[in-house]
Amino acid sequence: MERSKKPAAIPVSPVQPSPQVVFSDDSSKVSASLPTGESVQILLYGATVVSWKSATGNENLFLSSKAHLDGSKPVRGGIPLVFPVFGPPNKDHATASLPQHGFARTSRWEYLGKTSSESSSLPTSKGDSSVKLDFGLQDNMIAGAQWNYQFSLVYSVTLNQDSLETSLVIRNTGPINYDFQVLFHTYLAIDDISQTKITGLEDAAFVDKTRAAAHVEAAGEPVSISSETDRVYTTSTEKPRDPIAVLQGGKKRYELDRDMLPDVVVWNPWIEKSQSMADLGPEDAYKKMVCVEAGSVSAWNTLEAGDTWEGGQRIKAL
C-alpha cells in the first residue's frame, strides 16, 4: 500500500572545494592553493615565501634564478623575514653578535597548521576564499644565535583571492625586556624598472643608505628608480596611512597596506651592485624587481617581559 504523502527529500548542500596544502617530498616546503587557482609556496627555512601566484598563473614575487633554496644561506627573493635586527648590527647593541638582518630568515621554522575561511553560501561559490598558514619559532630552536632572550614567534601567511597577507606575533616569554626590529623584505616582480613608480611616500622623509645614511626631506613626488636605491622611509603616525602603490607603465600593479609598521624600505641594486652579487640572477635581474619592504626599523621597539607585539602587511595584486 502506497502512502498518499511521501516525506520530502532532505536537500543536500553541494560540497564546496577547499584549499589544498601539501608538503614537498623532503618536507622543506609547504605549498597552498585555492580552488580559484591562486597559490603560495613557503620554505620552512626562514619561513620564506618564495612564490605567490594569481589565479592567472602570474607570479607576483621575484625570486633570483641563483637563489639558494637548500638552507645554506638566506634566500635572494620572495619575502625573507627580518628579525630581531635590520641591517648590520650595531657593535654596541645587544644584537651585536648576530648576522645581518638577524636569525629569523636563516632558522628552520615549525609548521603549525592551516585555517581556511568559510565558504560562501551562494550557489556560484568556487569554494573557500582564503587559507592561512602558521609557522612558529622559539628561542630554544635557534642554533648558535648569540641573543640571550626568550621569545616565541608566530608567523602567518594568508593567501586570498586577490592578495597575500603576512603577519608576525612576537611574545617576550622571558623575564627581561629587549629591543627588536622587524621587516618583511618583499621582492616584487615587475616587467621593467624604468617604467615603475611608487606612490604613497611623497610626504615621507627618508634615510638614503647610498649616501652615507644622509637624511633627506620628503620629495613630494612618486618614487622612481634610475640608479642604485636603498632608502628607509618613515611615514607619519599621526594620520591614517594611505596604501602604497607600485605602478607599472602608469597602471597600478600592487597595493600595500600596513599595520604597526611605520617604515618602508625601497631597494634596487641597479647594474653595478647586482653584478657583484653572486646569488642574483639573471644578469638583468635588477630590471625585473623592486623591493618595497614594510617594517619597523628606523628605531628600536622595546618589548617588555610577558608582552606581545603584532604587525603585518597586505599586498594586493592588481
Q: Catalytic: 118?
A: no
At 192, which amino acid appears?
D
| C-alpha cell, 188 | 616584487
> Is residue 52 a contact partner of residue 46, using CB atoms and an 8 Å limit?
no
> Is residue 133 a contact partner of residue 111, using CB atoms and an 8 Å limit?
yes
> Is residue 318 a contact partner of residue 252, using CB atoms and an 8 Å limit?
yes
How many CA within 13 A on the CB side of residue 97? 6
> Is residue 266 a contact partner of residue 229, using CB atoms and an 8 Å limit?
yes
* Catalytic site residue from 185, 221, 272, 283: 185
At 161, which amino acid appears?
Q
Q: How far is residue 229's CA from residue 208's CA, in Å, rounded to a whole number? A: 8
**DSSP-derived 3-state class of residue 113:** strand
> Is residue 144 a contact partner of residue 33, using CB atoms and an 8 Å limit?
no
| C-alpha cell, 231 | 632608502
Q: How far is residue 97's CA from residue 91's CA, in Å, rounded to a whole number? A: 8
> Is residue 105 a contact partner of residue 80, using CB atoms and an 8 Å limit?
yes
* Catalytic site residue from 38, 165, 255, 293: 293
Q: Catalytic: 293?
A: yes
Q: Region of 239 please: left (phi>0), alpha (psi -120 to 50) or beta.
A: beta
Q: How far is residue 93's CA from residue 302's CA, in Å, rounded to a whole number? A: 13
> Is residue 157 a contact partner of residue 40, using CB atoms and an 8 Å limit?
yes
Q: What length is written for the chain?
A: 318
Q: Which residues are designated catalytic?
A: 185, 293
